[in-house]
Structure 1
Amino acid sequence: MPIGLTPRLLGRDEIDRALGALEGWEGDEHRLRRVVVLPPERQRPLRDAVARAEQDMTHHARVEQSRDSITFEVWTHSLDRVTDMDVELARRIDAAVAAVGSSG
């Protein structure tokens, strides 16, 4: 069942605090981004775990996959800005990365 958050825009100071608590993320008021380095055989389990989080939140990341990494980029498309929903999705992506096991 979706969690039904209403997106709340975050100021730069809130984003900086959130980035300090997230693993390997960078960004600003418009985008949060993390590159996860992991072998190809670990990528599908990570993508699946992130897809479950996205479905639960009804909020989605832009995902780019290469041979040895996956890049996640989150923002609230309707506002073209970072909101509290993006920070929550980033936390869930971090939890998925930790569960799958990776570096980066």
Structure 2
Amino acid sequence: MPRPPRLSPDDVARALTELPLWSGDADGLRRSVELPGFRDAVAAIVAIADVAEAMDHHPDVDLRWRTLHLSLVSHSEGGVSELDLELARRIDALLP
């Protein structure tokens, strides 16, 4: 199945207006979220992993104690695609 193409900088900027917890540009999206504790952060990673596996699209995740730093990019496309936007939406539905 073909992957969605890289989005233009304008398309990403428009999409970010609907994803206020995320920042970035056509090269990648970023969000950090602080959870109540370390185990909560690990549980969030597991929930994100389930969504990512279902989509066959995986974020870069960095866990620092109770803070998750998330990065989304479609490496095969060299930037942000619709898959990244959809994964961001699904992550927002999981996290506070």
The TM-score with structure 2 as length reference comes to: 0.90
Alignment of 1:8-27 (within 5 A): 8-27=5-24
The total of aligned residue pairs comes to 95
Structure 1 stretches of at least 4 aligned residues deviating more than 2 Å after TM superposition: none
Higher strand share: 2
Q: Which runs of 5+ in 1 are unaligned?
A: 99-104
| Contact 1:75-1:86 within 8 A present in 2 as well | yes
Indicate the RMSD between aligned Cα atoms, in angstroms: 1.4
Deviation of the 1:5 alpha carbon: 6.8
Structure 2: runs of 5+ lacking an equivalent: none
Deviation at 1:40, TM superposition (A): 1.3
Given the superposition, is the C-alpha separation of residues 12 and 57 from structure 1 closer, same or farther in structure 2, using an over 3 Å criterion? same
**Contact 2:72–2:84 (CA under 8 A) maintained in structure 1:** yes
Over the matched positions of the two proteins, sequence identity in percent amounts to 35
**Secondary structure of the structure 1 residue equivalent to 2:17:** helix
**Which of 49, 52, 63 is the aligned partner of 1:51?**
49
Residues 57-68 of structure 1 aligned to structure 2 (within 5 Å) = 57-68=55-66
- Secondary structure, counterpart of 1:78 in structure 2: helix
TM-score of the two chains, using structure 1 as the length reference? 0.83
Of residues 30, 33, 36, the one that matches 1:36 is 33
- Which of 47, 67, 73 aligns to 1:69? It is 67
